[in-house]
Chain A
Amino acid sequence: MNPISRIAPVTDAEAAQMVDPGTLADLAERLTSMPAEAAAAEDATRSLTWHSPRRRRRLLIAISAVAALSVTALLVTSLGVMTSPGPARHGGVRNPIGWNGKLYPLGPPGFGVEKTTVAGAQAKVGYPVPVPSNAAASLANLTQAWVAPRNHRQAALVFDKGKVDILMAPKTRQGALRWFHAFVKEKKENGVAAAWIGQVKGRPALVVIDPGTNANGSKPAVVHFWRNGVLISIYSNTYGEGTLLAIAESMH
Chain B
Amino acid sequence: MLSFCADMLLVSRGAAVRTSLTGAPEARRRRFEEIYAANHAAITGYVLRRTANPDDAADVIAETFLACWRRLGDVPGGGDARLWLYGVARRVLANQHRGERRRTALADRLRADLAAAYRVREYSGELAGISAAFRSLPADDREILALAAWEGLTTGQIAAVLGCSANAVRIRRHRARRRFSALLASGQAARPADGHVADGDLA
Identify the A interface with B (CB < 8 A).
Answer: 2-20, 22-24, 26-28, 30-32, 34, 36-37, 39-44, 46-47, 63-64, 67, 70-71, 74-75, 78, 82, 94, 111-112, 150-151, 175, 178
Contacts and interface: CB of A to CB of B under 8 A. Distances in A.
A132 B71 CA distance: 46
B134 interface: yes
B136 to A, nearest CB: 13
Interface residues of B, number: 62
13 contacts: A2-B148, A8-B150, A9-B120, A10-B118, A28-B65, A31-B65, A32-B32, A40-B23, A40-B73, A47-B73, A63-B5, A67-B5, A112-B34
A20 B32 contact: no
| B interface majority secondary structure | helix
Contacts of B34: 112
B76 interface: no
Contact of A94 (B23, B74, B109): B109
Contacts of A28: 32-33, 36, 65
B41 A13 contact: yes
User: Which of A10, A16, A47 is packed against the most chain B CB atoms within 10 Å?
Assistant: A10
A17 B41 CA distance: 9
Interface stretch (B44-52, B94-102, B154-162, B164-172): B44-52
| A interface majority secondary structure | helix
A71 to B, nearest CB: 6
Contacts of A175: 116-117
Interface string B1-34: 1100100000000000010011101001100111
Nearest to A44: B22
Contacts of A10: 45, 48-49, 118, 121
B28 to A, nearest CB: 5
Nearest to A17: B117
Contacts of A64: 2
B146 interface: yes
Contacts of B113: 18-20, 23, 94
